[in-house]
């Protein structure tokens, strides 16, 4: 973003104040602080980069999450707009009933306000892991583990069809590692799935991928670079019971590192899965970065896609240096500090009208 462009930006960051609705019988868990922490990181860091940032408090405290971002309710969004916001960073969970999608009071601002984030229709459709995985399988050009969908009426039949353990059971709409468990036998699987079915009518089971785990951030098109492209992969280690722990429990800096150039040059499986990840972003027409988790079937084998995250987590204020994000780590590998990464994402903003008009072809 040029200096003249950045001088015309007045940015407000939104946090999650709305509890997500039930979608096809499942509800995505609400993060306890509503992403206020990462929202404050975004606002603070861009302010340090010279971007005009609007805040609920006239003199926000860098140590106070709540001082930096507006609630994503209709009233909260309109409060930011009435302060003069030209750009809204949707650091929240979106869905088609969200005010950013359907508020009549926002309609007159369709061409004036820019949004940073995935369109609600995209998030609602593709946050359903089972739906997106099925679409990718239908196309037969993506590498995925075998999977099964479990509902109360087919649980017994499904258990009989799983011949090899371990497997992974997880919610179809999850957040981080919430509800994800490696099950080593039929009894453990039945117990875990029974608990998940108390929260959701459908549970997803996948073959356990036993090899190296990595995560790949795919950047969305911008005026500077009008195509989808991948940041360097980040490899994960020190898993807990076979699953990478939630970053609120174990900082990603403690269990992740960039894949070195010599490793990329020596092992073509990294580039192969990066190409697949780029094609996923193109397929769903992502409007902001997505982060795709991949894992090898076994040590030294090719990678498979096992989770697609529509909202990468970000960090950036003093005192939170250990709270890095996987996307920020990847950006640092190409010479971008955290503020530069945020500016690049800001460059790819879309008008509210185009944000609302998004429709998927799959």
CATH number, domain of 231, equals 3.30.470.20
For 290, the enclosing helix (H) or strand (E) is: strand 290-296
Same domain, 80 and 31: yes
Q: What is the pLDDT of residue 248?
A: 54
Same domain, 329 and 217: yes
Same domain, 232 and 330: yes
- How far apart are the C-alpha atoms of 342 and 288, rounded to whole Å? 11
Same domain, 315 and 281: yes
Instruction: Read off the pLDDT of residues 235-293 as tens digits, 9 standing for 90 and up.
Output: 998 776 667 665 555 567 678 899 999 999 999 999 999 999 999 999 999 999 999 99
Same domain, 194 and 255: no
**pLDDT tier at 201 (50, 70, 90 boundaries)?**
confident
Could you tell me if residue 29 is inside a domain?
Answer: yes
Same domain, 81 and 25: yes
Could you tell me if residue 133 is inside a domain?
Answer: no
Instruction: Read off the pLDDT of residues 21-77 as tens digits, 9 standing for 90 and up.
Output: 888 777 777 888 899 999 999 999 999 999 999 999 999 999 999 999 999 999 999
Residue 121 has pLDDT above 50, yes or no: yes
Last residue of a domain, one of 51, 86, 116: 116
CATH number for 44: 3.40.50.20
| Residue 246: how many other CB atoms lie within 10 Å | 14
Could you tell me if residue 253 is inside a domain?
Answer: yes
Contact between 132 and 126 (Cβ < 8 Å): yes
Q: What is the pLDDT of residue 29?
A: 77
**pLDDT tier at 99 (50, 70, 90 boundaries)?**
very high
Same domain, 177 and 218: no
Give me the DSSP letters along 36-48.
HHHHHHHHHHHHH
Could you tell me if residue 112 is inside a domain?
Answer: yes
Q: What is the pLDDT of residue 158?
A: 74
Could you tell me if residue 354 is inside a domain?
Answer: no
Same domain, 215 and 331: yes
Same domain, 273 and 245: yes
Q: What is the pLDDT of residue 267?
A: 97
Q: What is the pLDDT of residue 331?
A: 95
Show the domain range for 189: 154-207
Same domain, 170 and 273: no
206 strand-pairing partners: 147, 168
Distant-in-sequence, close-in-space partners of 130: CB < 8 Å, separation ≥ 6: 147, 149, 172, 202, 204
CATH number for 170: 3.30.1490.20
Residue 212 has pLDDT above 80, yes or no: yes
Residue 4 has pLDDT above 50, yes or no: no
Share of the chain above pLDDT 70, in %: 91
Q: Say if pTM beats, i.e. exceeds, 0.85.
A: yes
Same domain, 331 and 228: yes
Could you tell me if residue 146 is inside a domain?
Answer: no
Number of domains, the chain = 3
Could you tell me if residue 129 is inside a domain?
Answer: no
How many residues comprise the chain?
362
Could you tell me if residue 347 is inside a domain?
Answer: no
- How far apart are the C-alpha atoms of 291 and 285, rounded to whole Å? 14
Last residue of a domain, one of 55, 88, 116: 116
Same domain, 219 and 281: yes
């Amino acid at each position: 973003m040029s200096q003249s462009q950045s001088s015309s930006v007045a940015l407000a960051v939104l946090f999650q104040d709305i509890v997500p609705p039930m979608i096809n019988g499942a509800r995505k868990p609400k993060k306890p602080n509503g992403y206020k922490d990462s929202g404050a990181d975004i606002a603070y860091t861009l302010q340090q980069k010279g971007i005009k940032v609007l805040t609920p408090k006239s003199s926000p405290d860098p140590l106070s999450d709540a001082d930096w971002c507006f609630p994503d309710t209709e009233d909260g969004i309109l409060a930011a707009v009435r302060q003069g916001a030209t750009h809204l960073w949707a650091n929240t969970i979106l869905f088609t009933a969200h005010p950013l999608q359907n508020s009549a009071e926002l309609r007159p601002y369709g061409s004036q306000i820019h949004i940073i984030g995935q369109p609600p229709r995209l998030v609602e459709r593709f946050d359903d892991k089972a739906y997106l995985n099925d679409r990718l399988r239908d196309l037969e050009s993506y590498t995925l583990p075998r999977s099964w969908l479990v509902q109360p009426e087919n649980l017994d039949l499904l258990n009989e069809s799983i011949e090899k353990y371990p497997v992974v059971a997880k919610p179809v709409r999850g957040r981080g590692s919430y509800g994800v468990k490696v099950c080593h036998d039929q009894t453990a699987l039945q117990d875990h799935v029974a608990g998940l079915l108390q929260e959701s009518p459908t549970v997803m089971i996948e073959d356990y991928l036993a090899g190296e785990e990595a995560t790949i951030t795919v950047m969305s098109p911008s005026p500077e670079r009008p195509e989808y492209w991948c940041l360097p992969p980040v490899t994960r280690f020190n898993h807990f019971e076979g699953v990478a722990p939630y970053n609120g429990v174990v900082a990603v800096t403690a269990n992740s590192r960039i894949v070195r150039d010599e490793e990329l040059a020596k092992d073509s499986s990294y580039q192969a899965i990066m190409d697949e990840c780029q094609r996923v972003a193109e397929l769903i027409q992502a409007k902001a970065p997505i982060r795709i988790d991949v894992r090898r079937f076994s040590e030294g084998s090719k990678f498979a896609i096992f989770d697609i995250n529509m909202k990468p987590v970000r960090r950036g204020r003093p005192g939170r240096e250990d709270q890095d994000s996987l996307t920020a780590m990847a950006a640092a590998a190409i010479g971008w500090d955290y503020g530069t990464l945020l500016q690049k994402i800001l460059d790819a903003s879309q008008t509210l009208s185009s944000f609302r008009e998004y429709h998927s072809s799959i």
